[in-house]
Amino acid sequence: MKVALLSFAHVHAATYIRLLRDRSDIELIVTDPDADPGDPTRGKALADELGVTYRAGYDEALAERPRAVIVTSENARHRTLVELAAAAGAHILCEKPLATTENDARAMIDACERADVNLMTAYPVRFHPAFAALRHALSSGALGPLLSVHGTNNSSPPALERPWFADPAFAGGGAIMDHTLHIADLLDVLLEGEQPTHVHAVANSLLTYGTDGTEVESAGLLTLTYPRGLVATIDCSWSHPATHPTWGGLTLTCVGERALAEFDAFPPLLTGYDTTQATTRWEPAAIDLDAAMLESFLTAARTGQRAHPDGETGLRTLKTALAAYASLHTGQPATITAT
């Protein structure tokens, strides 16, 4: 099956390429025409380093009629590339957030529906086996009705590797746009698509700044209120220093009437102290969530089955982040209208 990856702008692009390039069932082509020609971390230079077939532009790559396309551009460019890929008849996996505006997200969903192709949003954490166990504990009644959920998604600032993450024109925001959405997706799964009615957000920009002097938030805390009375919080901060033993982490604490359950997406398999480097060592448990997500996407592309999480999921979760920005603007809780 022919797969095209469009743009190397996102930090996950190289990861996806490495996972796909050596598969005997995949013919991979890539393109990154928006890259600075002198940037060795993008464009043809990166493609040659990774040993994959490179095309000069998006039109050239899509002219080869790939059955599946992975969009890993800057957030604000997702709509253009998704619409191009849909017009070419390809099933699409789009990096999160699905878009930076609700209008763009809806247009992407509509374009894929018209073309009768899948639009999948890149939420790999929902494929974690421990999350599946948490979901089963909730659905079986072992936890009882949920009363509250506390989620954290923290990392080092991605703008250190890709400066556009701190440019609101390309990213749509800062840490809130970057790190709210994985937790919002897990909540979407646990609550079977129920959306919060109100979002209240606080944030600061003490940890990082935009490349052009424009500040974006680097730390945020969201409080979500649901129709059933459930209250959830999301800590969505770029708070890990360069010396932290891992790039990022994600956790959920679910409080039910009968029990409390905790989920850690990246638990340490082994911790210790490395005397040769005078640093803390953290060996993570070996679960490749990106590989699991890609396998689900490729299976859907081959069979024509509905891919999950789909574009509607991407839109619902995006609305939580957009409501957070509305709350920051007014200082009051923002209302979400159900999709």
* Cα separation, 80 vs 54, whole angstroms: 20
Distance CA 276, CA 289 (A): 31
Q: What is the dihedral of CA 308, 177, 285, 143, to 10 degrees?
A: -70
Check residues 215 and 311 and name the one with the higher pLDDT.
Answer: 311
Mean pLDDT of 99-110: 98
Average pLDDT over residues 130-144: 96
d(CA 339, CA 316): 7
Q: Is the dihedral of CA 255, 258, 263, 269 positive or negative?
A: positive
168 vs 215: CA distance, rounded Å:
9
Average confidence (pLDDT) over 234-240: 93
How confident is residue 251, by pLDDT bands cut at 50, 70 and 90? very high
**What's the pLDDT at 208?**
64
Query: CB of 31 within 8 A of CB of 7?
Result: yes
β-pair type (260-264, 268-274): unpaired
Our measurement of the distance from residue 43's CA atom to the centroid of its chain's CA atoms, rounded to an integer in Å, reads 22
Residue 146 has pLDDT above 60, yes or no: yes
Instruction: Give the pLDDT score at 190.
Output: 97
Q: What backbone phi and psi angles, to 5 degrees, belong to 151?
A: -120, 145
Alpha carbons within 13 A on the beta-carbon side of 170:
17
C-alpha distances in Å from residue 97, one per residue of 169, 203, 270 = 14, 19, 32
**pTM score, two decimals?**
0.93
Name residue 264's beta-bridge partners.
Answer: 251
| Percentage with pLDDT > 70 across the chain | 93
Residues 127 and 296 sit within 8 Å (Cβ to Cβ) = yes
Tokens of 56: 């000069």
Mean local confidence (pLDDT), 155-173: 92
pLDDT band at 279 (very low <50, low <70, confident <90, very high): low
Task: Indicate if the pLDDT at residue 213 is higher than 90.
Answer: no
